[in-house]
Structure 1
Amino acid sequence: MIGRFQTVTGAQAAAEGMEALRALAEAAWSDDDWRSHDERMPRELVDELVKLKLYDLGRSDVDLYALDHSVTREAETVRVWTEESDVQGFLKVLLHYGAKVEVFSRHAWNENGSERSDASSGSDSGSD
């Protein structure tokens, strides 16, 4: 996933927000069944999301940041790598900070838009 911003400041804010979410997700991660219908998001988690002004993130969006992923920033561009197919938590943050976002599978596509030459072989080596 690539987020392109109009300013370096926007990209930097998004990358910092994602790093804060990583720390929050790791601190709040729970392997209990929080998905039960009668359980709400923990108040502490809601308070932290309010501090970050990320009002539209849900528990599953935050939990995504505890899973294996990487985020890099280079000038006005933020890149997110993950093996997860659920990328909504990353997408919401990039959009919140004003990015134009491109989402693609590195298993099948190169960043320049060309098809990976090894994509037809079923290789999963394309995810960086």
Structure 2
Amino acid sequence: MKLWSSYGSEHSANLVMIGRFKEVGDAEAAKEVIDRLTEQARDDERAGKTHIGETPDRYTDGMLDLLSKLNVASVNPVELEQFLYDVKTTLRNDEIVLTTEENEVSAFLKVMIDKGARVEVYSAHDHPGTGYGRGG
């Protein structure tokens, strides 16, 4: 029997994003923003206000209120579903390390940059041995 072994680009990115901040407090604040946006996105999905795969043209009331409170203006409604993806974010001193199988990470990138990070993004498939990603 012949087996075909490959991976598609949609769910096998083994992507690593590292946001490096000037101060530990800056990283902590950015992680809090990511956590709160993730929580609101999950609340909106549970309430049936958003669904993965939709292309929303506006924010939910709860998300709009939260974005205003957090002073986040760069993330658009379509990007918010990224907070529902299987993404691991870890705070390590003055860094936030994000790992995921997804390629769609612009919302996280925008939050990190808006909060003062210098950001590195790479595929752990192509750069193994960094300690991050699958097989890191």
TM norm structure 2: 0.74
Is contact 2:40–2:62 with CA below 8 Å preserved after alignment? Answer: no
- Which residue does 1:100 correspond to in 2? 118
Q: What's the CA shift string for 1:40-92, capped at 9, x where partnerless? A: 32333211111111111112222111111110011111100111111100100
The answer for unaligned runs of 5 or more in structure 2 is 1-16
The answer for unaligned runs of 5 or more in structure 1 is 113-124
Matched, 1:50 2:58: no
The letter for the 2-side match of 1:66 is L
Offset, 1:21: 1.0
CA distance in 2, matches of 1:31, 1:90: 19
Q: Secondary structure at the match of 2:103?
A: coil
Is contact 2:27–2:95 with CA below 8 Å preserved after alignment? Answer: yes
Per chain length, whose mean CA-contact separation is higher, i.e. which structure has more relative contact order (CA < 8 Å, sep 6+)?
2
Number of residue equivalences: 114
